[in-house]
C-alpha cells in the first residue's frame, strides 16, 4: 500500500480513499483496507511473540559471512 511508512492521514488504494491511523488502513465506511505495518516491524513483532531466532541474526549485520 502506498501509505506504508507515511504519517497518519488520507491515502488512496484502487481509486478509493483510505484513512491511515497507526498501522491500520480503513475505507470511509470503516472497512479494513489493509495494513501499513512495515516488514521490519512485522518481523520484530513475530520474533518477540514466538521466541523464534531469526536466520542470520548471529552475523551482526555482516553481509559477507564467508
| pLDDT, tens only, 18-52 | 999 888 889 999 999 888 888 888 888 899 999 88
pLDDT band for position 58 (cuts 50, 70, 90): low
Residue 25, number of CB atoms within 10 A of its CB = 20
Residue 59 has pLDDT above 70, yes or no: no
CA 15 to CA 63: how far, in whole Å? 40
- For range 4-24, the mean pLDDT: 86
Number of Cβ within a 10 Å radius of residue 20: 21
User: Which residue is associated with the grid cell 518481523?
Assistant: 43
Given a cut of 80, whether residue 1 has pLDDT beyond it is: no
Amino acid at each position: 500500500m502506498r501509505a506504508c511508512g507515511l504519517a497518519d492521514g488520507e491515502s488512496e488504494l484502487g481509486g478509493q480513499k483510505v484513512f491511515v491511523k497507526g498501522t491500520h488502513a480503513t475505507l470511509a465506511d470503516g472497512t479494513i483496507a489493509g495494513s501499513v505495518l512495515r516488514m521490519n516491524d512485522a518481523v520484530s513483532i513475530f520474533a518477540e511473540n514466538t521466541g523464534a531466532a531469526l536466520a542470520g541474526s548471529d552475523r551482526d549485520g555482516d553481509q559477507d559471512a564467508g
